[in-house]
Amino acid sequence: MTSVAIITGIGGQDGRYLAELLLQKGYRVHGIIRPGGASAKSIAEQIELPNSAATLDSNSPRLQIHAIDLLDQRQLRTLIEQTQPTEYYHLAAMSCVPKSWEDPIGCAEANSLTTAHALEIIRLIDPSIRFCQAGSSEMFGRPITSPQSELTPFRPRNPYASSKVMSHHLTCNYREQYRLFACNTILFNHESPRRSLDFVSRKITSAVAKIKLGIQTELRMGNLEAERDWGFAGDYVEAMWLSLQQDKPDDFVIGTGIARKVADMVQFAFACAGLDPEKHVVIDPAFLRPEHGCKLVADPSKANRTLNWKPKIAFQDMLKMMVAADIQRTEQQTAHPNKKSQDRFAA
């Protein structure tokens, strides 16, 4: 029997890597995107079959893209009834912290109510569907202990983190109250060439590419001493999949367990392009943010032990990949300024 998965937010970094992983494993994948956003055709064209130059289209029986409003219970229920998934990965979210302050209500709806709708529909239609909620290290906020494990108290400090905490607890509630196979994966920072420019990693690697090609001369940064736990997105989606292959549902912290400074990321990204960061990096007070409490770094020992999961791509290799992709992307955009890039860079 072929496994069938629904992936919300399939157009994002994690959604695309997860779709490729599941397709490689023989799944049929139904991806959900926002109405009015990118077309189903453009999203399908960005998803590649691993170890193959072939791509799928939006009409493939193995991959189908659906533009639906996740807050519309009728639309979501109809899709679940028609596709009969065995697994449901909830990745769709408003994921940019500054934007969550600009629209906290929209953030709560996108990140929390969509989780409630999905869990309730699964409970009513088919409680055997396995559910994975993608959480965030932002939920720990300003932690009082480090590293952070599944037992570390949440202390959210922004609307995005608060909405993710609600989704986490809803997932636990439905697991305990209705015996759903519902898992939380608490994902620490994970990057790739597909990362949005809203995030510091792509801000750095994109600037490195433009400096290398003579398009700009400086990178303006804030606190280079801030520390985070950075891993590769392709590794982290494998942890999501593994969480749904276990005998019992549970919650898992996913990270490398290694804290690195923003300065380390800057230094290595510039080195990848043969550049000296001291000649180009400018500290801008406008980007400075205070660091509070203990540093955010994962304790992934439970995932290591229970899921037999460990990250495969090293921090340095991830940055090499990102810088190379941004240089290629920038070259293409410079050569064809009126042609929109397909952004199909992958590991």
Catalytic choice (88, 160, 174, 236): 160
> In whole angstroms, what is the distance from residue 238 CA to residue 84 CA?
22
Active site residue 136: yes
Catalytic choice (95, 136, 163, 192): 136
Catalytic choice (20, 138, 227, 238): 138
Q: What is the dihedral of CA 225, 228, 233, 235, to 10 degrees?
A: 120
> In whole angstroms, what is the distance from residue 254 CA to residue 252 CA?
6
Q: What is the dihedral of CA 176, 179, 182, 184, to 10 degrees?
A: 20
Active site residue 291: no
> In whole angstroms, what is the distance from residue 39 CA to residue 32 CA?
11
Omega of the bond leading into 85 within 30 degrees of 0 (cis): no
C-alpha distances out from residue 74 to 10, 68, 69, 141, 180, Å = 20, 10, 9, 35, 21
DSSP string, 70-123: TT-HHHHHHHHHHH--SEEEE------HHHHHH-HHHHHIIIIIHHHHHHHHHH
Nearest-CA neighbor of 139 among 176, 171, 105, 97?
Answer: 97
Contact 235, 311 (CB under 8 A): yes
Active site residue 160: yes
Helix then strand then coil, in percent of the chain rounded to 5, is 45, 15, 40
**Where in the sequence numbering do the catalytic residues fall?**
136, 138, 160
